[in-house]
Amino acid sequence: MNNNIPQYSDLAHHWKLDKDIVFLNHGSFGATPTYISEQQTRYRDIMEREPVDFFVNQWPVLLDRSKKKLAEFVNADPDDLVFVQNTTTGVNQVLNSFLFEPGDEWLVSSHAYGACMLAMKHFCERNKIRLNVIEIPFPVEDDQQILKALQDKITDRTKLALIDHVSSATGMVFPIKKIVDFLRENGVCSLVDGAHAPGMVYLDIRHLNPDFYVANCHKWICAPKGSAFMYVKPDWKHFIKPLIISHYNDTDEGGSSHWANQFMWDGTHDFSAYFCVGDTLDYIEKLHPDGWEGVMNSNHKLVWNAGNLIAEKLGFDLPLRENYIGSILTLPMPDGEEGFPKFNETPPLKQKLYEKYQIQVPVFMFPSAPRQWLRISSQLYNNIGQYEYLADCLRQIFKSK
Protein backbone atom coordinates (compact mmCIF):
# COMPACT_ATOMS: atom_id res chain seq x y z
CA MET A 1 0.00 0.00 0.00
CA ASN A 2 1.24 3.50 -0.88
CA ASN A 3 1.02 5.64 2.24
CA ASN A 4 1.53 8.84 0.23
CA ILE A 5 -1.80 8.62 -1.58
CA PRO A 6 -3.82 11.82 -0.94
CA GLN A 7 -7.39 11.74 0.26
CA TYR A 8 -10.48 12.37 -1.80
CA SER A 9 -12.82 15.33 -1.19
CA ASP A 10 -15.42 15.47 1.56
CA LEU A 11 -18.07 14.39 -0.97
CA ALA A 12 -16.27 11.17 -1.90
CA HIS A 13 -18.36 9.10 0.53
CA HIS A 14 -21.20 9.32 -1.99
CA TRP A 15 -19.19 7.01 -4.28
CA LYS A 16 -17.69 3.52 -3.86
CA LEU A 17 -14.31 4.47 -5.26
CA ASP A 18 -11.25 2.60 -4.01
CA LYS A 19 -9.52 4.98 -1.59
CA ASP A 20 -6.17 3.33 -2.36
CA ILE A 21 -6.39 4.56 -5.97
CA VAL A 22 -6.08 8.18 -7.11
CA PHE A 23 -8.95 8.17 -9.58
CA LEU A 24 -8.55 11.05 -12.04
CA ASN A 25 -10.36 9.41 -14.95
CA HIS A 26 -14.05 10.08 -14.52
CA GLY A 27 -14.15 10.90 -18.23
CA SER A 28 -13.73 7.35 -19.51
CA PHE A 29 -16.65 5.53 -17.90
CA GLY A 30 -17.99 7.84 -15.20
CA ALA A 31 -18.65 6.69 -11.64
CA THR A 32 -22.08 6.07 -10.14
CA PRO A 33 -22.94 7.16 -6.58
CA THR A 34 -23.63 4.39 -4.10
CA TYR A 35 -27.21 5.52 -3.55
CA ILE A 36 -27.95 5.30 -7.30
CA SER A 37 -26.40 1.82 -7.51
CA GLU A 38 -28.66 0.78 -4.64
CA GLN A 39 -31.63 2.38 -6.36
CA GLN A 40 -30.84 0.36 -9.47
CA THR A 41 -30.87 -2.78 -7.33
CA ARG A 42 -34.28 -1.76 -5.96
CA TYR A 43 -35.66 -1.50 -9.48
CA ARG A 44 -34.26 -4.94 -10.27
CA ASP A 45 -35.83 -6.36 -7.12
CA ILE A 46 -39.22 -4.95 -8.11
CA MET A 47 -38.82 -6.54 -11.53
CA GLU A 48 -37.96 -9.96 -10.13
CA ARG A 49 -40.71 -10.02 -7.49
CA GLU A 50 -43.39 -9.92 -10.19
CA PRO A 51 -41.90 -9.85 -13.69
CA VAL A 52 -45.18 -9.89 -15.59
CA ASP A 53 -46.76 -7.02 -13.68
CA PHE A 54 -43.48 -5.12 -13.87
CA PHE A 55 -43.07 -5.30 -17.65
CA VAL A 56 -46.75 -4.88 -18.46
CA ASN A 57 -47.69 -2.14 -16.02
CA GLN A 58 -44.75 -0.60 -14.14
CA TRP A 59 -41.99 -0.52 -16.76
CA PRO A 60 -43.62 2.04 -19.12
CA VAL A 61 -44.35 4.42 -16.23
CA LEU A 62 -40.79 4.26 -14.86
CA LEU A 63 -39.29 4.77 -18.30
CA ASP A 64 -41.53 7.72 -19.11
CA ARG A 65 -40.86 9.42 -15.76
CA SER A 66 -37.10 9.20 -16.18
CA LYS A 67 -37.15 10.35 -19.80
CA LYS A 68 -39.24 13.42 -18.95
CA LYS A 69 -36.74 14.39 -16.24
CA LEU A 70 -33.88 14.00 -18.73
CA ALA A 71 -35.73 16.00 -21.41
CA GLU A 72 -36.22 18.82 -18.93
CA PHE A 73 -32.51 18.76 -18.04
CA VAL A 74 -31.36 19.10 -21.68
CA ASN A 75 -34.36 21.26 -22.71
CA ALA A 76 -35.86 19.03 -25.36
CA ASP A 77 -39.31 17.65 -26.12
CA PRO A 78 -39.58 14.16 -24.53
CA ASP A 79 -41.14 12.89 -27.77
CA ASP A 80 -37.91 13.79 -29.60
CA LEU A 81 -35.72 11.74 -27.22
CA VAL A 82 -35.18 8.02 -26.84
CA PHE A 83 -32.95 6.07 -24.51
CA VAL A 84 -30.07 4.08 -25.99
CA GLN A 85 -27.36 2.10 -24.22
CA ASN A 86 -24.46 4.41 -25.12
CA THR A 87 -23.40 7.15 -27.52
CA THR A 88 -21.81 4.70 -29.96
CA THR A 89 -25.14 2.88 -30.28
CA GLY A 90 -26.96 6.13 -30.99
CA VAL A 91 -24.43 7.24 -33.61
CA ASN A 92 -24.73 3.88 -35.38
CA GLN A 93 -28.51 4.17 -35.22
CA VAL A 94 -28.45 7.51 -37.04
CA LEU A 95 -25.87 6.42 -39.62
CA ASN A 96 -27.80 3.25 -40.39
CA SER A 97 -30.98 5.23 -41.15
CA PHE A 98 -29.58 8.36 -42.76
CA LEU A 99 -30.63 9.04 -46.35
CA PHE A 100 -27.82 8.96 -48.88
CA GLU A 101 -26.91 8.46 -52.50
CA PRO A 102 -23.67 6.88 -53.76
CA GLY A 103 -21.21 9.71 -54.30
CA ASP A 104 -22.41 11.71 -51.30
CA GLU A 105 -19.81 13.00 -48.89
CA TRP A 106 -19.77 12.85 -45.08
CA LEU A 107 -17.51 14.77 -42.72
CA VAL A 108 -15.88 13.72 -39.48
CA SER A 109 -13.58 15.66 -37.17
CA SER A 110 -9.97 14.60 -36.65
CA HIS A 111 -10.81 14.76 -32.92
CA ALA A 112 -13.59 12.16 -33.27
CA TYR A 113 -13.88 9.30 -30.81
CA GLY A 114 -12.30 6.14 -32.22
CA ALA A 115 -15.45 4.02 -32.19
CA CYS A 116 -17.46 6.71 -33.98
CA MET A 117 -14.70 7.22 -36.53
CA LEU A 118 -14.78 3.50 -37.29
CA ALA A 119 -18.56 3.60 -37.63
CA MET A 120 -18.33 6.46 -40.12
CA LYS A 121 -15.69 4.60 -42.13
CA HIS A 122 -17.79 1.42 -42.15
CA PHE A 123 -20.99 3.03 -43.42
CA CYS A 124 -19.13 5.11 -46.00
CA GLU A 125 -17.27 2.12 -47.41
CA ARG A 126 -20.41 0.00 -47.48
CA ASN A 127 -22.51 2.65 -49.20
CA LYS A 128 -19.89 4.21 -51.53
CA ILE A 129 -19.90 7.51 -49.65
CA ARG A 130 -16.76 9.60 -49.55
CA LEU A 131 -15.54 10.35 -46.02
CA ASN A 132 -13.61 13.59 -45.54
CA VAL A 133 -11.73 14.28 -42.32
CA ILE A 134 -11.81 17.84 -40.97
CA GLU A 135 -8.26 18.45 -39.75
CA ILE A 136 -8.93 20.61 -36.71
CA PRO A 137 -5.73 21.97 -35.17
CA PHE A 138 -4.71 21.24 -31.61
CA PRO A 139 -3.89 23.39 -29.79
CA VAL A 140 -6.47 25.74 -31.28
CA GLU A 141 -6.30 29.53 -31.15
CA ASP A 142 -9.92 30.57 -31.73
CA ASP A 143 -13.31 29.51 -33.09
CA GLN A 144 -12.49 30.84 -36.53
CA GLN A 145 -9.74 28.25 -36.95
CA ILE A 146 -12.29 25.51 -36.39
CA LEU A 147 -14.88 27.00 -38.74
CA LYS A 148 -12.22 27.56 -41.42
CA ALA A 149 -11.14 23.91 -41.21
CA LEU A 150 -14.78 22.89 -41.56
CA GLN A 151 -15.40 25.24 -44.47
CA ASP A 152 -12.40 23.88 -46.36
CA LYS A 153 -13.95 20.40 -46.44
CA ILE A 154 -17.54 21.21 -47.38
CA THR A 155 -18.57 20.61 -51.00
CA ASP A 156 -21.90 20.58 -52.79
CA ARG A 157 -21.97 16.79 -52.15
CA THR A 158 -21.58 17.07 -48.36
CA LYS A 159 -24.70 15.80 -46.60
CA LEU A 160 -23.72 14.92 -43.01
CA ALA A 161 -21.08 15.93 -40.46
CA LEU A 162 -20.26 14.13 -37.20
CA ILE A 163 -18.93 16.72 -34.74
CA ASP A 164 -17.91 16.41 -31.10
CA HIS A 165 -19.43 18.67 -28.49
CA VAL A 166 -16.59 17.80 -26.11
CA SER A 167 -13.71 15.85 -27.61
CA SER A 168 -12.65 12.68 -25.81
CA ALA A 169 -9.17 12.84 -27.31
CA THR A 170 -8.37 16.44 -26.43
CA GLY A 171 -10.94 17.49 -23.84
CA MET A 172 -11.76 20.52 -25.99
CA VAL A 173 -15.26 22.00 -25.74
CA PHE A 174 -16.16 22.86 -29.31
CA PRO A 175 -18.14 26.02 -30.20
CA ILE A 176 -20.94 23.68 -31.05
CA LYS A 177 -23.70 26.25 -31.61
CA LYS A 178 -21.56 28.10 -34.17
CA ILE A 179 -20.71 24.81 -35.88
CA VAL A 180 -24.31 23.56 -36.06
CA ASP A 181 -25.48 26.91 -37.45
CA PHE A 182 -22.62 26.96 -39.98
CA LEU A 183 -23.46 23.46 -41.17
CA ARG A 184 -27.13 24.31 -41.56
CA GLU A 185 -26.30 27.45 -43.54
CA ASN A 186 -24.31 25.22 -45.92
CA GLY A 187 -27.01 22.57 -46.25
CA VAL A 188 -25.21 19.96 -44.13
CA CYS A 189 -26.94 17.90 -41.43
CA SER A 190 -25.33 17.89 -38.00
CA LEU A 191 -24.81 14.75 -35.94
CA VAL A 192 -23.39 15.86 -32.60
CA ASP A 193 -21.43 13.39 -30.48
CA GLY A 194 -22.23 14.79 -27.04
CA ALA A 195 -20.86 11.84 -25.08
CA HIS A 196 -19.22 14.06 -22.45
CA ALA A 197 -21.52 17.08 -22.53
CA PRO A 198 -24.59 16.47 -20.30
CA GLY A 199 -23.60 17.26 -16.73
CA MET A 200 -20.26 18.76 -17.77
CA VAL A 201 -21.41 21.81 -19.74
CA TYR A 202 -24.75 23.56 -20.03
CA LEU A 203 -26.83 21.82 -22.71
CA ASP A 204 -29.91 23.37 -24.30
CA ILE A 205 -30.96 21.25 -27.27
CA ARG A 206 -33.77 23.57 -28.32
CA HIS A 207 -31.31 26.46 -28.54
CA LEU A 208 -28.59 24.37 -30.16
CA ASN A 209 -31.09 23.00 -32.71
CA PRO A 210 -28.99 20.14 -34.16
CA ASP A 211 -30.37 17.58 -36.56
CA PHE A 212 -29.17 14.74 -34.30
CA TYR A 213 -27.65 14.74 -30.84
CA VAL A 214 -26.41 11.64 -29.03
CA ALA A 215 -24.96 11.63 -25.52
CA ASN A 216 -24.17 9.48 -22.50
CA CYS A 217 -25.81 9.72 -19.11
CA HIS A 218 -23.27 7.47 -17.37
CA LYS A 219 -20.40 9.96 -17.63
CA TRP A 220 -20.98 13.42 -16.13
CA ILE A 221 -24.57 12.85 -15.05
CA CYS A 222 -23.20 9.81 -13.14
CA ALA A 223 -26.10 7.49 -13.99
CA PRO A 224 -25.45 3.74 -14.24
CA LYS A 225 -23.55 2.34 -17.21
CA GLY A 226 -25.78 1.53 -20.13
CA SER A 227 -27.73 4.81 -20.11
CA ALA A 228 -27.59 7.34 -22.95
CA PHE A 229 -29.99 9.17 -25.22
CA MET A 230 -30.55 9.99 -28.87
CA TYR A 231 -32.30 13.18 -29.97
CA VAL A 232 -33.72 13.47 -33.48
CA LYS A 233 -35.06 16.71 -34.88
CA PRO A 234 -38.74 16.31 -35.89
CA ASP A 235 -37.84 16.95 -39.55
CA TRP A 236 -35.88 13.67 -39.55
CA LYS A 237 -38.16 11.43 -37.54
CA HIS A 238 -39.83 9.95 -40.61
CA PHE A 239 -36.49 8.50 -41.74
CA ILE A 240 -34.80 7.43 -38.48
CA LYS A 241 -36.10 3.99 -37.60
CA PRO A 242 -35.05 1.56 -34.86
CA LEU A 243 -32.60 -1.19 -35.70
CA ILE A 244 -34.86 -3.66 -33.88
CA ILE A 245 -38.58 -3.75 -34.68
CA SER A 246 -40.60 -5.04 -31.76
CA HIS A 247 -43.51 -4.25 -29.43
CA TYR A 248 -44.77 -0.65 -29.15
CA ASN A 249 -43.79 -0.06 -32.78
CA ASP A 250 -47.44 0.64 -33.63
CA THR A 251 -48.36 2.48 -30.41
CA ASP A 252 -49.98 5.92 -30.88
CA GLU A 253 -49.68 5.78 -34.66
CA GLY A 254 -50.31 9.26 -35.97
CA GLY A 255 -49.73 10.72 -32.51
CA SER A 256 -46.87 12.77 -31.12
CA SER A 257 -45.31 9.87 -29.21
CA HIS A 258 -45.35 7.32 -32.02
CA TRP A 259 -41.77 7.88 -33.19
CA ALA A 260 -40.30 7.53 -29.70
CA ASN A 261 -42.49 4.54 -28.91
CA GLN A 262 -40.85 2.61 -31.74
CA PHE A 263 -37.56 2.64 -29.81
CA MET A 264 -39.00 1.76 -26.38
CA TRP A 265 -38.80 -2.00 -26.48
CA ASP A 266 -35.92 -3.85 -28.16
CA GLY A 267 -36.57 -7.11 -26.33
CA THR A 268 -36.56 -8.29 -22.74
CA HIS A 269 -33.55 -6.99 -20.83
CA ASP A 270 -32.64 -4.95 -17.77
CA PHE A 271 -33.88 -1.36 -18.25
CA SER A 272 -32.93 -0.24 -14.74
CA ALA A 273 -30.08 2.03 -15.92
CA TYR A 274 -32.64 4.08 -17.87
CA PHE A 275 -34.94 4.33 -14.85
CA CYS A 276 -32.06 5.70 -12.77
CA VAL A 277 -31.28 8.66 -15.02
CA GLY A 278 -33.99 10.84 -13.50
CA ASP A 279 -33.04 9.72 -9.98
CA THR A 280 -29.39 10.58 -10.64
CA LEU A 281 -30.23 14.04 -11.94
CA ASP A 282 -32.08 14.75 -8.71
CA TYR A 283 -29.38 13.21 -6.50
CA ILE A 284 -26.32 14.97 -7.96
CA GLU A 285 -28.16 18.29 -7.99
CA LYS A 286 -28.45 18.15 -4.19
CA LEU A 287 -24.71 17.64 -3.68
CA HIS A 288 -23.99 21.32 -4.37
CA PRO A 289 -25.79 24.33 -2.90
CA ASP A 290 -26.09 25.84 -6.39
CA GLY A 291 -27.44 22.65 -7.94
CA TRP A 292 -26.24 21.44 -11.31
CA GLU A 293 -24.83 24.84 -12.22
CA GLY A 294 -22.69 24.65 -9.10
CA VAL A 295 -21.60 21.08 -9.87
CA MET A 296 -20.45 22.01 -13.37
CA ASN A 297 -18.73 25.20 -12.23
CA SER A 298 -16.99 23.41 -9.35
CA ASN A 299 -15.68 20.63 -11.59
CA HIS A 300 -14.52 23.14 -14.20
CA LYS A 301 -12.69 25.27 -11.64
CA LEU A 302 -10.97 22.25 -10.13
CA VAL A 303 -9.70 20.83 -13.43
CA TRP A 304 -8.51 24.26 -14.59
CA ASN A 305 -6.65 24.90 -11.34
CA ALA A 306 -5.23 21.38 -11.44
CA GLY A 307 -4.02 21.82 -15.01
CA ASN A 308 -2.28 25.07 -14.14
CA LEU A 309 -0.67 23.47 -11.08
CA ILE A 310 0.70 20.55 -13.11
CA ALA A 311 1.83 22.84 -15.94
CA GLU A 312 3.75 25.03 -13.51
CA LYS A 313 5.44 22.10 -11.79
CA LEU A 314 6.42 20.40 -15.05
CA GLY A 315 7.24 23.57 -16.96
CA PHE A 316 4.84 23.54 -19.93
CA ASP A 317 2.00 25.71 -21.23
CA LEU A 318 -1.60 24.53 -21.28
CA PRO A 319 -2.73 23.74 -24.84
CA LEU A 320 -6.14 25.45 -24.57
CA ARG A 321 -7.59 28.63 -23.11
CA GLU A 322 -10.09 28.29 -20.30
CA ASN A 323 -13.13 28.93 -22.50
CA TYR A 324 -12.39 25.66 -24.35
CA ILE A 325 -12.34 23.58 -21.15
CA GLY A 326 -15.15 21.78 -19.31
CA SER A 327 -14.24 19.16 -16.69
CA ILE A 328 -11.48 17.34 -18.59
CA LEU A 329 -8.14 18.74 -19.63
CA THR A 330 -5.47 17.22 -21.85
CA LEU A 331 -1.86 17.97 -20.91
CA PRO A 332 1.23 17.62 -23.13
CA MET A 333 3.78 15.01 -22.07
CA PRO A 334 7.21 14.17 -23.47
CA ASP A 335 6.95 12.02 -26.59
CA GLY A 336 6.14 8.39 -25.96
CA GLU A 337 7.12 5.31 -27.88
CA GLU A 338 6.27 4.46 -31.46
CA GLY A 339 3.95 1.53 -32.04
CA PHE A 340 0.93 2.43 -29.89
CA PRO A 341 -1.62 3.26 -32.55
CA LYS A 342 -4.63 1.47 -31.10
CA PHE A 343 -7.19 2.76 -28.63
CA ASN A 344 -6.90 -0.17 -26.24
CA GLU A 345 -3.11 -0.31 -26.02
CA THR A 346 -1.52 0.94 -22.80
CA PRO A 347 1.49 3.27 -23.10
CA PRO A 348 4.29 2.70 -20.55
CA LEU A 349 3.62 6.05 -18.85
CA LYS A 350 0.02 5.10 -18.02
CA GLN A 351 1.11 1.68 -16.79
CA LYS A 352 3.81 3.14 -14.54
CA LEU A 353 1.48 5.75 -13.05
CA TYR A 354 -1.00 3.02 -12.13
CA GLU A 355 1.32 0.22 -11.00
CA LYS A 356 3.91 2.29 -9.12
CA TYR A 357 1.89 5.31 -7.95
CA GLN A 358 -1.72 4.00 -7.97
CA ILE A 359 -2.93 6.82 -10.22
CA GLN A 360 -5.73 6.01 -12.67
CA VAL A 361 -5.40 8.50 -15.53
CA PRO A 362 -5.48 8.04 -19.33
CA VAL A 363 -2.38 8.51 -21.47
CA PHE A 364 -2.69 8.38 -25.25
CA MET A 365 -1.15 9.38 -28.54
CA PHE A 366 -2.76 12.19 -30.56
CA PRO A 367 -2.96 12.62 -33.46
CA SER A 368 -0.50 9.72 -33.65
CA ALA A 369 2.51 8.22 -31.86
CA PRO A 370 4.88 9.31 -30.53
CA ARG A 371 3.01 12.56 -29.63
CA GLN A 372 1.84 11.81 -26.11
CA TRP A 373 -0.81 13.40 -23.89
CA LEU A 374 -2.23 12.85 -20.42
CA ARG A 375 -5.88 13.67 -19.67
CA ILE A 376 -7.17 14.62 -16.23
CA SER A 377 -10.82 14.75 -15.16
CA SER A 378 -12.46 16.44 -12.20
CA GLN A 379 -15.59 15.31 -10.38
CA LEU A 380 -17.02 16.25 -6.99
CA TYR A 381 -15.09 13.46 -5.27
CA ASN A 382 -11.68 14.85 -6.33
CA ASN A 383 -9.56 17.51 -4.64
CA ILE A 384 -6.51 19.53 -5.61
CA GLY A 385 -4.12 17.42 -3.52
CA GLN A 386 -4.63 14.48 -5.87
CA TYR A 387 -3.40 16.51 -8.85
CA GLU A 388 -0.44 17.82 -6.89
CA TYR A 389 0.46 14.20 -6.17
CA LEU A 390 0.17 13.41 -9.89
CA ALA A 391 2.47 16.30 -10.74
CA ASP A 392 5.08 15.13 -8.22
CA CYS A 393 4.94 11.58 -9.58
CA LEU A 394 5.34 12.79 -13.15
CA ARG A 395 8.40 14.83 -12.13
CA GLN A 396 9.94 11.72 -10.56
CA ILE A 397 9.27 9.67 -13.69
CA PHE A 398 10.72 12.19 -16.12
CA LYS A 399 13.64 13.09 -13.86
CA SER A 400 14.73 9.44 -13.82
CA LYS A 401 14.92 9.27 -17.62
pLDDT-based confidence at residue 302 (cuts at 50, 70, 90): very high
Q: What is the pLDDT of residues 311-356, one digit of tens each?
A: 999 999 999 999 999 999 999 999 887 765 555 568 899 999 999 9
* Residue 31, in any domain of the structure: no
Write down the H helix ranges in 267-341: 272-285, 291-314
Residues 310 and 392 reside in one and the same domain: yes
In terms of C-beta distances under 8 Å and separation of at least 24 residues, what long-range contacts does 289-292 make, across chains too?
292/73, 292/199
Cα–Cα distance, 372 to 129 (Å, whole number): 32
Residues 115 and 186 reside in one and the same domain: yes
pLDDT-based confidence at residue 401 (cuts at 50, 70, 90): low
Residue 200's pLDDT is what?
98
pLDDT-based confidence at residue 3 (cuts at 50, 70, 90): low
Residue 340's pLDDT is what?
59
Residues 136 and 253 reside in one and the same domain: yes
236 has a pLDDT exceeding 90: yes
* Residue 39, in any domain of the structure: no
Count up the domains in the chain and report the number.
Answer: 2
Residue 58's pLDDT is what?
95
* DSSP one-letter code for 324: G
Residue 263's pLDDT is what?
86
248 has a pLDDT exceeding 90: no
Residues 354 and 251 reside in one and the same domain: no
Angle formed by the axes of helices 176-185 and 143-151, nearest 10°? 30
134 has a pLDDT exceeding 90: yes
User: Do residues 322 and 304 lie in contact, with contact meaning Cβ atoms separated by under 8 Å?
Assistant: yes
pLDDT-based confidence at residue 366 (cuts at 50, 70, 90): confident
Residues 331 and 372 reside in one and the same domain: yes
* DSSP one-letter code for 235: G
Residues 229 and 319 reside in one and the same domain: no
Kindly report the three-state secondary structure assignment for every residue of 125-164: HHHCCEEEEECCCCCCCCHHHHHHHHHCCCCCCEEEEEEE
Residue 201: which CATH number? Answer: 3.40.640.10
370 has a pLDDT exceeding 80: yes
* Residue 349, in any domain of the structure: yes
Last residue of a domain, one of 242, 271, 300: 271
> For the ranges 46-50, 231-235, 365-369, which has the lowest average pLDDT?
365-369
46 has a pLDDT exceeding 60: yes
Residues 167 and 95 reside in one and the same domain: yes
* DSSP one-letter code for 7: P
Residues 262 and 144 reside in one and the same domain: yes
Distance set, CA 68 to CA 106, 133, 279 (Å): 33, 36, 12
Residue 390's pLDDT is what?
98
Task: Decide: pTM greater than 0.85.
Answer: yes
pLDDT-based confidence at residue 399 (cuts at 50, 70, 90): confident
Residues 122 and 243 reside in one and the same domain: yes
Domain enclosing residue 246, as ranges: 74-271
Mean pLDDT, all residues of the chain: 94
Of residues 137 and 311, more confidence is placed in 311
**Residue range 231-238: mean pLDDT, rounded:** 94
371 has a pLDDT exceeding 70: yes
Residues 228 and 328 reside in one and the same domain: no
